[in-house]
Structure 1
Amino acid sequence: MNPRNRLNFSGGPGALPQSVLEQVRESIDAVPGVGLSVLGISHRSDWFAAVVAELEDNVRRLLGVPAGYHILFLQGGATQQFTMVPLTLMQGSQVPADYLHTGYWSGKAIAEARREGPLRVLWSGEGEGFGRLPSDGELDFAADAPYLHYVSNETVEGLQFHRLLGRDDVPRVCDMSSDFLSQPCPVDQFALIYAHAQKNIGPAGVTVVLVRDEVIGKAPEDLPGFLDYRSHAQAHSNFNTPPVFAIYVVLLVTRWLLGEIGGVAAMAAINQRKAGLLYCALDGSDGFYRGRSAPADRSLMNVAFSLPDVHLEQAFLAESQAAGFTGLAGHRSIGGIRASIYNALTVAEVEELAGFMADFQRRHRR
C-alpha cells in the first residue's frame, strides 16, 4: 500500500465507498442534471425534495421499514436524541424509563435523560470495565416503564448486542449510530431508532431517525419546535435549513448499498468476514494482542484490543501510521487500539491491516 493512500480505521467519521467519493467530487463541482454545486443548491428546491423522498424510500427498502414509521433526517447528532427521546416518551411519567449502561455512549445518554425525568439503570457494566454485555438472566425489564433505551453497538469498547432486548409491550428505543445499515434490523420491533451518519452511512451532520407514528402522536404538545419530531415529520425533514450536502451523500451511500452491495444482508456477510479476519489475528497471537470484549459480545464494527505494554502500543500506532493505517488509537477514555471496520472498508483493506498486525507481532515478540 502506498502510505499516501491512507486507510481510515477511525471510530468516526469513517470512510466512504470509493464510488461514492467519486460522485461526491463531481457533485461538488456540479450535480449531474442540475448544473450547480451540491454545496449551493437550495434546501427548498424540487431537487432536494426529490433527494429526501428517494432517501426515505431507500432506507425503507434496505431495512424493510413497514408503514406507520416516519423516516427523518435531523441535525444535532445522537447527542440531540439523548434529549429528544425522553422529552417525547417520558411525558411527565413518575415511572422511570429503563436504560442499559453498557459503555461510554450509553453513559452519555443516561446523563442527559436524567435531566428530563426519572430513569432506572437496569444494568451497568461499569464495575467490570465494560468488558461484556448482560445476559438475559441479568435483565429484569419493567412492564410499566415508559420505554427501554439501549445502544446496539458500543463504539468505544467494541461491544455489540447480537439479539433483540426488552419486552414487546414496552417501547424499545435504540441508538444504532455505529451499526445502522450494517446488517438487517427488525425495525417493527422498535418504537424509535436513531443513528448519526458518520460511521457507516455518510459524513457528519445528519442523524437518521425512524420513529413510529404513535410515538409522535402521543408526544407532549408544548415541546419546542426543533425538539418535536412532529415538526420535522410535517416538514419532511425540512423544518429548518437542513444539511443538504450530508443528506445527499447518505443518499449516494444507500444507492451503493442497494446497487453495488446488494442490500444489508450482503453487507452483513462482508462485515462478518472483515471482523473475522481481525478477531482471528487476536485469538491466534498467543496473547500478544489482547481483545477487550467478551467473545460472545464482540462488535463487528469496532475491534478493540491492547498489547502487553504501553510502549508496544505506542510503537504499533507509530508504525501503523507510517504504513498508511490511520485512526487506530483507542478512544481517549480507555486507550489501547481500536480498528473500526465500517461498511466502506473492503475485505482487502482489512486483510492489509491483519497482515500488518502479523508482521508487527513477528518483529516485536519478546
Structure 2
Amino acid sequence: MFEEMIYLDNSACTRLDERVLEAMKQYYFDVYAVATSEFGYSMGIDAREGLEASRGIIASKMGGSPEELVFTSGSTESSNMALKGVASALKKKGKHIIVSKIEDFPVLNTAKALEKQGFEVDYLDVDGEGKVDIESLETTIRDDTILVSVQQANQEIGTLQDLETIASVCKEKDTLLHTDATHSFTRVPLDVSKIPVDLVTISGHTIHGPRGIGALYVREGTPIRKWMDGGFQEFNLRAGVENIPAAVGFAKAVELVTPKENKKLAEMRDRVIDGAFEKIPDVTLNGSRKERLPQNANITFHYVEGESITLHLDMRGFAVSTGSACFSKSLEASHVIRGIGGDHERAHGSVRFTFGRYNTMKDADAVVEAISEVVEQLRVISPLRNEN
C-alpha cells in the first residue's frame, strides 16, 4: 500500500474534512441525548436545536424550507423513500412511473421492485451524451403517470440533465418529479424555489461529509407515505432516532463547499480530459464535454480492459474506478455506457476519475502521465488491439 495514495474516486466516497469532524464531536461527547421537545430536559433540547439548525442550513442551500427536509441514512434510503412513498400514496390514482435508463441503482432497483408489486415502469432512453430526450418524456407521460425520476447528474459519466425543462414538463403534465442530486448537490446550482422539482435526494458522503447521512427534500404538499414503520421522527416520515452528529456534519460539509473549490475541480477534470486526448490515441470521452459535473472525467481507453488499467494504476499509487464488468458484483458492464449507445468494449475500457478537495493539479498531471504509460503497455499485449 502506498503511503500517499492519490485518491481519484471521490464520487464513490470522499475523505471526511477535519472541520466536519470537529463540528460533530460536541454531539458525540457533550450533547449526546436524543432530540427532545421544548418541554424536555436541557441536553435533549440542545440536541434538537443542533438538529434543526443543520436542517435549516441544508434546506436553504437548495432554496427550500427546513420543514421540507427529511434526514435519512443516505442517498439509497432517500431514493427508496421517494419512489416507494409516492407509489404508496398515489397508487389509486395510477401505477405508471418513468425513470431514465442511466439512473443510479437506488432508483433503478427501486423501480424494478415496484414493477414486481404491479406498477408499470417506462425506462427513458438517453442520447449519446446521456441527456434525456424532452420530447420522449412528454410523449411517455400518461394520465396515470404518478412520478418521473430523472437524476440531475449522472454518477458515472457526469452528464448534467436539463432539470429545469424536465421539471416544467412534469409540472405541465401534473406529474411529480424526483431527482437524484447525490453527485450534484453543492457542485452545480439547484434552487427548488425556481425549479418545480418535488423530491430531491442528497447525501453527505460525496462532499467530504460523514457517511451514513443523507436527506430527502419533499416539497410541501407532495403526497408521500411513510414506508418504514417505527416512531414519529422526521415529521412522521422517517422512523428511528435521528443521527444528530452526522446531520451536524452534513450541514458543516455543505457550508464548506465554495464556488472557488468547484472551479478548481473543473480545472483538474479538464486537465485529465485534455491530457488524455493529447497523449493517448483511440480514446473516447463518455458524457457531455460542456454540461458536466466539475469533478468528473470518464474516458474509454479502447483495446484495453478498465480492470487492468485500474489495477496497474493502483500499483502506481492511484485510486480510480472502472465500468468493467469484472469490477461489478453483478458481473455486468456499465449500464450507463451501454445506455448512451456504447458497446461492451467501450464499457469495459472506461475509467472514471473524480476529484475532491484534497486533490491538486499535480495529481491530475501525474495520473495522465501514469495512464498514458499504462495504456501503452497494456495495448502491446491486448488481444482486443490485435483483433483490430
Q: Which runs of 5+ in 2 are unaligned?
A: 36-43, 334-347, 381-388
Q: 5 Å matches for 1:116-135?
A: 116-121=117-122, 123-125=124-126, 132-135=130-133
Aligned residue type for 1:213: E
In the alignment, which residue of structure 2 is the partner of 1:354?
Answer: 365
Contact 2:50 2:248 in 1 (8 A): yes
Taking structure 1 as reference, are residues 122 and 322 closer, same or farther at Cα in structure 2, changes over 3 Å only? closer
Taking structure 1 as reference, are residues 254 and 277 closer, same or farther at Cα in structure 2, changes over 3 Å only? same
Give CA-to-partner distance per residue, 1:203-261, whole Å, 9 cap, x none.
3212211111101xx445xx555499xx4442697x4223334223212212323xxx3
Taking structure 1 as reference, are residues 86 and 94 closer, same or farther at Cα in structure 2, changes over 3 Å only? same
2:32 is equivalent to residue 21 of structure 1: no
Aligned residue type for 1:353: A
Contact 2:111 2:121 in 1 (8 A): no
In the alignment, which residue of structure 2 is the partner of 1:175?
Answer: 180
2:36 is equivalent to residue 41 of structure 1: no
Contact 1:133 1:161 in 2 (8 A): yes
CA distance in 1, matches of 2:374, 2:95: 58
Contact 1:93 1:117 in 2 (8 A): no
Q: Give 1:111 shift.
A: 1.0
Identity among equivalent positions (%) equals 8
Q: 5 Å matches for 1:265-304?
A: 265-295=259-289, 298-304=292-298
In the alignment, which residue of structure 1 is the partner of 2:339?
Answer: none
2:320 is equivalent to residue 306 of structure 1: no
Q: 5 Å matches for 1:238-253?
A: 239-253=239-253
In the alignment, which residue of structure 2 is the partner of 1:88?
Answer: 86
Q: Give 1:95 shift.
A: 5.2
2:313 is equivalent to residue 320 of structure 1: yes
Q: Give 1:363 shift.
A: 7.0
In the alignment, which residue of structure 2 is the partner of 1:200?
Answer: 207
Q: Give 1:319 shift.
A: 4.2
CA distance in 1, matches of 2:252, 2:15: 10
Give CA-to-partner distance per residue, 1:75-105, whole Å, 9 cap, x none.
2642463354243253322352322222453
CA distance in 2, matches of 1:364, 1:143: 48
Give CA-to-partner distance per residue, 1:249-275, whole Å, 9 cap, x none.
212212323xxx3xxx55543443333
In the alignment, which residue of structure 2 is the partner of 1:187?
Answer: 192
Taking structure 1 as reference, are residues 364 and 286 closer, same or farther at Cα in structure 2, changes over 3 Å only? closer
CA distance in 1, matches of 2:307, 2:66: 51
Structure-2-length-normalised TM-score: 0.72
Contact 2:304 2:375 in 1 (8 A): no
Contact 1:91 1:219 in 2 (8 A): no
* 4+ aligned runs moved over 4 Å, structure 1: 265-268, 296-299
Give CA-to-partner distance per residue, 1:11-54, whole Å, 9 cap, x none.
5542236xx32552x578x53xx7x637x923333343222222
User: Match of 2:146, SS?
Assistant: coil
Return 323-332 or 180-189, whichever deviates more. Answer: 323-332
Q: 5 Å matches for 1:95-174?
A: 96-105=96-105, 106-121=107-122, 123-125=124-126, 132-141=130-139, 142=141, 144=143, 145-164=145-164, 165-166=166-167, 167=169, 168-169=171-172, 170-174=175-179
User: Match of 2:150, SS?
Assistant: strand
Give CA-to-partner distance per residue, 1:47-71, whole Å, 9 cap, x none.
4322222212212332222x48511
CA distance in 1, matches of 2:246, 2:207: 13
Q: Give 1:339 shift.
A: 1.3
User: Match of 1:153, SS?
Assistant: coil
Contact 2:98 2:124 in 1 (8 A): no
2:59 is equivalent to residue 60 of structure 1: yes
Contact 2:230 2:240 in 1 (8 A): no
Give CA-to-partner distance per residue, 1:92-121, whole Å, 9 cap, x none.
223523222224534324213324553341
Aligned residue type for 1:197: G
CA distance in 1, matches of 2:146, 2:267: 38
Contact 2:187 2:294 in 1 (8 A): no
CA distance in 2, matches of 1:359, 1:327: 12
Equivalences, count: 336
Structure-1-length-normalised TM-score: 0.76
Contact 2:82 2:224 in 1 (8 A): no
Q: Which runs of 5+ in 1 are unaligned?
A: none
User: Match of 2:221, SS?
Assistant: helix
Return 53-62 or 295-304, whichever deviates more. Answer: 295-304
CA distance in 2, matches of 1:68, 1:37: 26
